[in-house]
Structures are given as C-alpha cells and as structure tokens.
Structure 1
Amino acid sequence: MVNDTILETQGLTKEFRGFVAVKGVNLRVRRGTIHALIGPNGAGKTTCFNLLTRFLPSSRGSISFKGQDITRARPADVARLGMVRSFQISATFPHLSVLENVRVALQRERGASFDFWRSEQVLSTYDARASELLDAVGLGAHAHLPAVELSYGRKRALEIATTLALDPELLLLDEPTAGMGHEDVERIAALIQQVAANRTVLMVEHNLSVVANLCHTITVLARGEILAEGDYATVSKNPDVVQAYMGAEHV
C-alpha cells in the first residue's frame, strides 16, 4: 500500500531558555490535502512552521518528509526535496517587474550561478514559464508592472507564484490572507484551492471562514500543544477549542 503521509512529526518540541513554544507535537499531513494549523495568538503556529522548514532547530523530536528524516537537514536542502514555504510578510523584490520576480525564482535550476548578472538573452529563456505561473495566479495582465505598484492582495498572489516556481510537492503558507479585504481574501482562497489540485498544502490561517471552506484537516494548537484535530465540523464543536478561542475569535 502506498504511504499517503507526506509529512510527519513525532514529539516535536522547541524550547527558548525554559519557555516551551512547541511541545510534543505529533503532526501527520496526508498527500493531496489542504491541512490547516490554527489557534489563538501565541499558540506556536509560526514556530511550528519554522521547525518544519528547519529555519529553527528543534529541541527534541523528529521530522519526516516523504519518508526521509529531515530533523537536522539544512533549510535549502528541505526546499530542494520539495517542501517550500511562504512568509507572513510578502517577500518580493519591489523594484523588479512582476515577471522578473518569478524569473528570479525560476533561476534555481541553474544552481549557484549568478544569473542576476547574465545577459537578457539567457534570462529570457525563463519568460514562458514565468508567464504561465503569472496566468495561473491571475497576474498575467500585470507582468511588466513593478511589484511595488501591486495591491497587497496581488503581492501575496505574486509571492505564491514565486513559491510555485520552485515546484514544491508540499506548499507551506503562513497566513496567506492576513490583512486582506474581502475581495482579496476570496481571490487568494480560490488560488489556494487551484494550486492544491496537484500538490499538498499546509497553511497557518486566522480567517476561519477560509479554513472552513478549504481545509480537509485542521490541527488546533494552544500553548504549543495539539488541542484537537479533524475536519472543521468536528473541531468547531470541540469544547476545548471553543474555550481556547474565547476572547480571541469565535469558532
């Protein structure tokens, strides 16, 4: 039988000088699903993301990706294996065009070469694929606009395009709809659903209506520990989850 687990942690723990930010987390993400990490502020969600992608070393526990132990892997190696993340703050090159931003991400396949300094002819070989990715995220008409001129929601869409340029099997999205108006939230939610058609998505998200509509499995964190797990109907009725969100958000 094919193993349907793409990412698994056992006892994942992170301590900062005696403060336990993530405690004994056993997480299992199934291939081809959209999986959410939710919880009140300070629950340990972003710290958990940083541990999974090895931006932070864990204090204890193990991380397995596609059956391979990555507990002590370097972040760049984790990305090369196919686990790529976005960040809460949009990370684009503001004064490059939208197309050039995606092109920079596509240059990964050239390894360590400094394509920033190469001829336009060399760089233009990436244009077709960059254009495809921009069309996929609804930015085709904005390809030659400087990234700084995009609206906030479209900057997040550009960030997703640059992340997709790395061709991840597992896409980690950290608060993809944070700070957005209703229209941008709907656009990004539709985009996440679209890109999840042929890959796995693990997301941290505060907008519970987005979580309810998109996610197959939801893991609720509180004080660094898993409080509940299941589909939205299950976790939203869990008394412990409701209590954890009291005064923060209504589940």
Structure 2
Amino acid sequence: MAADAILTAVGLTKEFKGFVAVDDVNLSVERGSIHALIGPNGAGKTTCFNLLTKFLQPTRGKITYKGDDITSMASADIARLGLVRSFQISAVFPHFTALENVRIALQRKRGDSYDFWRSQTVLNQYNDRAAELLADVGLTEFAEVQAAELPYGRKRALEIATTLALDPEMLLLDEPMAGMAEADVERITALIKRIAANRTILMVEHNLSVVANLSNRITVLARGKVLAEGPYEEVSKDPRVIEAYIGAGHG
C-alpha cells in the first residue's frame, strides 16, 4: 500500500448467502488522485463501492481512511470525517430552487438541523457561499430554477454542488455520467477535473473515454477480484482486461 494513500482496503470480501460478490480485494487510492473502478457487468464494482462508502458491511477485510480504521463505521460518520459519496445526501429537493438546495446542504454542514425554523435573514447568510458553489458547477444562471425543472445533466451538477457544500476531502462518485447526453458528459467531465484540483476522487464509471480522460489510476474488477491496476494506457492494453471488459462489449 502506498505511503500517501488516503483510502485503502485490504482483503475486502463480501458474501451473500454463499455467493462471493467481492473476493479479497486490495485497493489503495492515492491522495490527490482521480482513481476509477471499472469492470464488466457483474464484476462487483457496485458492491465494492458500497463497502467502501459503508452502505454495506464487509464479510471480511479492513478499510482505512487517512490511517484510521473505518471498517465498522456508519456512512454518516465517515461523511463527517470528509469521505463523502456524491448523491448519498441527495439534498436535492425537487420543489426548491438550485440555490435553496445548496443552502440546505450548507446548513447541514453547520449542524443546525437544516435551520428550517430560522428567519430568512439568518438563512440568507448562506447565500454567498451557495452562489459560489453554483458558480463552481456552472449553474449560476439556474440559481432560481426549481430542481425538478433542471435538465438531467444540470441536476447531476446540482447534486455535486450539494456534496461539495459538505467540504469533502475525498469524493466518491457512483457512475456520474450515467444516462447523460454527450454535451452533458463533457460538461461533467470538466467539472470533475476542476473539483479534483484539491480533492481525491474515487469513481465507478462505465464510459471508458471518460475514464481515459480523467483517471490517474484504474482498478479493473472481474468476478469480484482485482484483474489489473495501473494507468489507463497500461491497463487498456492488458489482454485480460480486453477479454473481460472491452471484448465483452461493455463500453
């Protein structure tokens, strides 16, 4: 395991009634990197991701974040440590505006139980920071638009803004490009590059061109095991990866 790893998993295993979905996985995510977890359908990516973000408890293995053992911790507790899964909060309320949604996430960060009973004057203190976060994700012009009215790609950007409101040190993205049109993919790719400037990102992603464009390092899973790991240029030429992933037509 790398000395500058921020998140590590050792011997990570998850069994469901005898079926081994994740099988003795070792993973090391370097601080300040964008690390992608990829693999064909049924490879165990989602289960592995759910273990790392503590939505599932491992059968065996150990997970550490910044050197601390988080194996038995709840997802809400690791979020408070700065390890946040995008969309886990889903502080996106459909009938609130984009600005109001980000403001709610900022209130949560302060620990004021959303401040729903506070006066408008008190709530307005969050407006400047909320506006900054909307600008960061390219949503300034949509500040007063209800979340339900936002186009799909813009809604995903809003979800990322609400996650950034929690000021995470490490961000875990679960298929951030799923269901997006090409223009939205380009926009969110640029957004992830920008927000990765001072954060670590681990993402599960099916779109190989996105993975090639964004990732510093890639871990390929197949049948619950780590098949290969390394830079995209190296991993994409591995015959086992071509057979298991690209050859299987999952692109």
Normalised TM-score (structure 1): 0.95
Alignment of 1:46-125 (within 5 A): 46-87=46-87, 92-111=92-111, 113-125=113-125
Alpha-carbon offset, residue 242 of structure 1: 0.8
Q: Give the Cα separation in 1 of the matches to 2:46 and 2:250.
A: 18
Structure 1 unaligned regions, length at least 5: none
Match of 2:173 in 1: 173
Aligned to 2:42, the other structure's residue is in SS state: coil
Aligned AA (2:99): L
Alpha-carbon offset, residue 75 of structure 1: 1.1
Aligned AA (1:249): H
Contact 2:86 2:172 (C-alpha < 8 Å) held by counterparts: yes
Q: Give the Cα separation in 2 of the matches to 1:114 and 1:132.
A: 19
Q: Give the Cα separation in 1 of the matches to 2:97 and 2:58.
A: 37
Deviation per CA, 1:181-223: give whole Å up to 9, x if none: 1100000000000000000000000110010011000000111
Q: Give the Cα separation in 1 of the matches to 2:55 and 2:250.
A: 29
Structure 2 unaligned regions, length at least 5: none
- Verify: 1:17 aligned to 2:43, yes or no: no
Change (3 A) 1:112 1:42: farther
Alpha-carbon offset, residue 159 of structure 1: 0.6
Identity over the aligned pairs, expressed in percent?
69
Aligned to 2:113, the other structure's residue is in SS state: coil
Aligned AA (1:248): G
Normalised TM-score (structure 2): 0.95
Q: Give the Cα separation in 1 of the matches to 2:205 and 2:113.
A: 36
Aligned AA (1:51): L
Q: Aligned pairs, how many? A: 249
Match of 2:250 in 1: 249
Q: Which runs of 4+ in 1 moved over 3 A?
A: none
Aligned AA (2:225): E
Match of 1:188 in 2: 188
Match of 1:210 in 2: 210
Match of 1:130 in 2: 130
Q: Give the Cα separation in 2 of the matches to 1:104 and 1:186.
A: 28
Aligned to 1:27, the other structure's residue is in SS state: strand
Alpha-carbon offset, residue 91 of structure 1: 6.3
